[in-house]
Amino acid sequence: MAAHYTESAAKVVEPPSKIKRKAPGSGQVKRSVRRLESKAKVDGSAEYIYNLSLPGMLYGKIARSSIPHGKILSIDATAALAIEGVHAVITGEDIRRLIPDPYYGPAFHDQPILALDKVRYAGEPVAVVLAADPHVAEEAADLIAVEYDPLEPVFDEVAASKAGAPIIHDRLRPAATFPDLKYLQGRSGTNVALSGRVRRGDLEKGFRESDHIFEHTFRNGKVIHAPLEPFVTLAEMNGPDGLTIHTASQSPSFVRSEVSRLLGWPENRVRVRTAFLGGGFGGKLYIKLEALVAACALLVRKPVRIALTMEEQFYTITKHGATVRLKTGAKKDGRIVAREVETWWNGGAYADIGPRVAQKSGLTSAGPYDIENIAIDSHAIYTNEPPAGALRGFGVSQVVWAYESQADIIARALKIDPLEFRRRNILREGRPHATGMLMTDVDIDAILDRLAERMEWDRPLDHGSGTIRRGRGIAIGIKACVAPTTSVAMVNIYGDGSCGICCSTVDMGQGSDTAMAQIAGELLGVSAEAIRVIHPDTDVTPYDMATLGSRSTYHMGNAVRHAAEDARAQLLRIAATALQTDIDELECRDGAVLTRSGARMSRQITPFWMLGGAGAEIEVDTETGRIRVTKLVNVGDAGSAINPDIVERQLIGAGTMQFGFTIFEEMIINEGQVVNASFADYKIPGMLDLPDDLTGELVEVPHRHGPFGAKGIGETGMFCVSPAIGNALYDAIEVRVMEMPLTPERVLRALRQAQDRPLTSD
């Protein structure tokens, strides 16, 4: 399936000698190695970009738009500049002098580094104050006076997609990096950034042949990544014509190319480095602060640092709110024969990677089901809200919420057990997916089996009585990993035989350093703990597309594998010729081998299928609407797990995050103003909120091309939690809530509505 190619270059520096090497297959993979950086993370010494300050640097504080949509009439910085200690105030016009076309973005070049001419959401950066003292910068930023001519805003994604809605961008500006978006260039008079389509079979015929047709609309609220390490970027001049950017980013390679493009510089003049990330979850992808900080540093010719507060995260990037309309035709026996899916993604004011989210999650939005007739439309929509981008699952959890809630509705309507209903419809090995791609190395039955076992599905559940009712539910989901993409790795064997891996995968807590060390160690016969992983520095570590989409174990893992195999082969060749000794008994000293390898993926929509399932048992307080999740089982197919402990914890971590998104996390945006932009007002799950019984369960269906059979799994735990809980809610109180999150008030309102004694709407 995947067309790998490997290029290698080798240089032997010193003659071999005395360090004994074990043969490959040395038990490094499929072993729960502790994280390499364990000590640094418990003694306070772990390196985060957050820790960095540079001599003579200025702190930047961003002044933000107070209105959701409007023309900028004037920006008055007089009062700010009058504050003692203010070094400069930078506006969009200043940036335009440095960068004539200062619009950036991974999918569309639509986002100005600082607002130009107009603002498109409340919270949009309008100016930056630079000062040696962060408190001074903050005080002065409050004093920047901006005069606006307000324009009519639009917030709802469906309303924004309709003709006559206020237009947010005059014309569409797709990025040249995505040739498939080129046709959108210059399109005007629309808020639809992109519409993705999938067609299979004959939808109308499918509906005609259906015994039952179900049509529902589901909603997802907006939520936020909230990594605990703030977004932080520093930039400094590197000689007269170079720039170094230190940034808490998941995609240093992309930062380099995008900043170079903006500046009109060759990429070799821009250096981007990262350290450990204090969480990312998709929020720190592509460009966030980097272009702004780089521009400020170049304008004032001093190092500049900008770190966002937690509040500012809410104005920077969110998960997409989405409306999903689902129409499904089924036979009496439960076989789904036709499905129409239309999704509107609330992308906010700037596209970020939203069009790709719409497109990619659209591809799998009919679910992991074998359906002959399918029509999928997935629309990326601009609105006057903060921009939305990738969040751990890339749109998949929003559509799974819809199709797995509806699966439950259909199963119940046809009086088929929900688990059995899924068995009758799932995609099996060798069958074509909606996109035509064949399913390979998948086993959804195994996921259902595991769910049935762990949920004790055959045993009846006590549904309770009085004001506490119990219910249980399950869900399954599918995601395509990103393709085609490139990862490149270098494995260095140093003079003393110690080993270093250079790769641009960012370890943001998922344990990639450890996994890469295990893969290289396996082949080089070195224990993973003894290998050093050099953190991304675009001057040193080779290109990687980004750390996203659960792609690193597979893609970078393969690159590291190829590089390590190459290094090993070279060592063995040297040994064979120089020492004429048996490979397993090779001894060498002061040997150094440098090798490089790259893996590129084919044009198929995914290198491997990501499959997961979840089961939930809950209790509902029928007087308050409060849900208590008593059991949450998250099953994921990791292929052959490189590090089973870390993989299980990824499932639990992702499951807990989605659990928060399901039962209470929600950005409240009122007329474009985020009204709960803080941890006091936007709550994330803490110790006391967790499900009583919370587990991650590995199903291991080895992948033929994965490194040692592995697949990525960082997002899998997100997919199915919401519909599992929503379905359990129905099981408990026979009330279907169509909109996430399932807050107590929303549940109680739905329940009281069903009881015909509704709460008033105030």
Residues tagged active-site: 715
Instruction: Provide, rounded to whole angstroms, the least separation between the CB of residue 520 and other proteins.
Output: 21
Spatial contact of 684 and 678, defined as CB atoms under 8 Å apart: no
- The identity of residue 58, as a single letter, is L
The reply on whether position 34 binds other proteins by CB under 8 A is: yes
Closer Cβ to other proteins, 331 or 649, answer by number? 649
The reply on whether position 145 binds other proteins by CB under 8 A is: no
78: helix, strand or coil? helix
| Site for other proteins, residues 586 to 625, rule: CB under 8 A | 623-624
Spatial contact of 644 and 696, defined as CB atoms under 8 Å apart: no
Tokens read off for 545: 């597309």
| Site for other proteins, residues 475 to 514, rule: CB under 8 A | 508-511
Instruction: Provide, rounded to whole angstroms, the least separation between the CB of residue 141 and other proteins.
Output: 10
The dihedral region occupied by 703, where left means phi > 0, alpha psi between -120 and 50, and beta the remainder, is beta
Spatial contact of 474 and 634, defined as CB atoms under 8 Å apart: no
Count H helices and E strands in the chain, helices first. Answer: 18, 33
Tell me phi and psi for residue 62, to 5 degrees.
-90, 130
Angstrom distance (rounded) from CA 286 to CA 297: 20
| Of the candidates 632, 631, 635, the residue with the CA atom closest to the CA atom of residue 611 | 635
The residue from 18, 20, 135, 182 that contacts other proteins (CB under 8 A) is 135
Q: Tell me which stretch binds other proteins (CB under 8 A): 72-80, 474-482, 597-605, 664-672.
A: 664-672
The residue from 154, 277, 491, 699 that contacts other proteins (CB under 8 A) is 277
Angstrom distance (rounded) from CA 716 to CA 4: 25
Spatial contact of 329 and 213, defined as CB atoms under 8 Å apart: yes
| Site for other proteins, residues 47 to 76, rule: CB under 8 A | 48, 50-51, 53
Tokens read off for 307: 């770190």
The reply on whether position 81 binds other proteins by CB under 8 A is: no
Q: How far apart are the first and last CA of the chain?
A: 57
Angstrom distance (rounded) from CA 501 to CA 483: 24
Closer Cβ to other proteins, 647 or 728, answer by number? 647
Closer Cβ to other proteins, 410 or 508, answer by number? 508
The reply on whether position 681 binds other proteins by CB under 8 A is: yes
Instruction: Provide, rounded to whole angstroms, the least separation between the CB of residue 85 and other proteins.
Output: 9
Instruction: Provide, rounded to whole angstroms, the least separation between the CB of residue 146 and other proteins.
Output: 17
Instruction: Provide, rounded to whole angstroms, the least separation between the CB of residue 686 and other proteins.
Output: 5
What dihedral angle (degrees, nearest 10) is formed by the CA atoms of 198, 200, 205, 209? -110
The reply on whether position 760 binds other proteins by CB under 8 A is: yes
Q: Tell me which stretch binds other proteins (CB under 8 A): 168-176, 187-195, 569-577, 651-659.
A: 651-659
| Site for other proteins, residues 203 to 262, rule: CB under 8 A | 225-230
Residue with tokens 């009062």: 79
Element (H, E) at 338: strand 336-346
Angstrom distance (rounded) from CA 144 to CA 260: 30
The residue from 357, 520, 646, 718 that contacts other proteins (CB under 8 A) is 646
The reply on whether position 686 binds other proteins by CB under 8 A is: yes
Tokens read off for 325: 């309309």
Q: Tell me which stretch binds other proteins (CB under 8 A): 267-275, 277-285, 561-569, 594-602.
A: 277-285
The residue from 573, 626, 630, 644 that contacts other proteins (CB under 8 A) is 626
State the Rg of the chain over Cα. 27
Contacts of 435 (CB under 8 A, 6+ apart): 198, 200, 363, 605
Q: What does the chain come to in residues?
A: 762
What dihedral angle (degrees, nearest 10) is formed by the CA atoms of 123, 126, 130, 135? -30
The reply on whether position 142 binds other proteins by CB under 8 A is: yes
The residue from 242, 279, 644, 702 that contacts other proteins (CB under 8 A) is 279
Instruction: Provide, rounded to whole angstroms, the least separation between the CB of residue 651 and other proteins.
Output: 10
Closer Cβ to other proteins, 309 or 435, answer by number? 309
The reply on whether position 35 binds other proteins by CB under 8 A is: yes
Q: Tell me which stretch binds other proteins (CB under 8 A): 110-118, 610-618, 630-638, 754-762.
A: 754-762
Q: What Cα–Cα distance (Å) separates residue 214 from each residue in 413, 427, 736?
A: 10, 21, 14
The reply on whether position 753 binds other proteins by CB under 8 A is: no
Instruction: Provide, rounded to whole angstroms, the least separation between the CB of residue 226 and other proteins.
Output: 6
Closer Cβ to other proteins, 126 or 657, answer by number? 657
Instruction: Provide, rounded to whole angstroms, the least separation between the CB of residue 649 and other proteins.
Output: 7
Instruction: Provide, rounded to whole angstroms, the least separation between the CB of residue 626 and other proteins.
Output: 7
The residue from 39, 71, 97, 463 that contacts other proteins (CB under 8 A) is 39
Closer Cβ to other proteins, 35 or 568, answer by number? 35
| Of the candidates 734, 465, 468, 733, the residue with the CA atom closest to the CA atom of residue 621 | 468
DSSP assignment letter at 432? B
Tell me phi and psi for residue 129, to 5 degrees.
-100, 135
The residue from 7, 20, 25, 41 that contacts other proteins (CB under 8 A) is 41
The residue from 17, 38, 78, 602 that contacts other proteins (CB under 8 A) is 38
The residue from 43, 180, 241, 458 that contacts other proteins (CB under 8 A) is 43
Instruction: Provide, rounded to whole angstroms, the least separation between the CB of residue 486 and other proteins.
Output: 26
Closer Cβ to other proteins, 100 or 686, answer by number? 686
Q: Which residues pair with 541 in a beta bridge?
A: none
Spatial contact of 217 and 473, defined as CB atoms under 8 Å apart: no
Angstrom distance (rounded) from CA 226 to CA 733: 32
The reply on whether position 656 binds other proteins by CB under 8 A is: yes
Distance between alpha carbon 427 and the CA centroid of its chain, in Å? 25
| Site for other proteins, residues 301 to 320, rule: CB under 8 A | 309-311
Spatial contact of 172 and 185, defined as CB atoms under 8 Å apart: yes
The reply on whether position 79 binds other proteins by CB under 8 A is: no
Instruction: Provide, rounded to whole angstroms, the least separation between the CB of residue 718 and other proteins.
Output: 12
Closer Cβ to other proteins, 587 or 621, answer by number? 621
| Site for other proteins, residues 731 to 750, rule: CB under 8 A | 743-745, 748-749
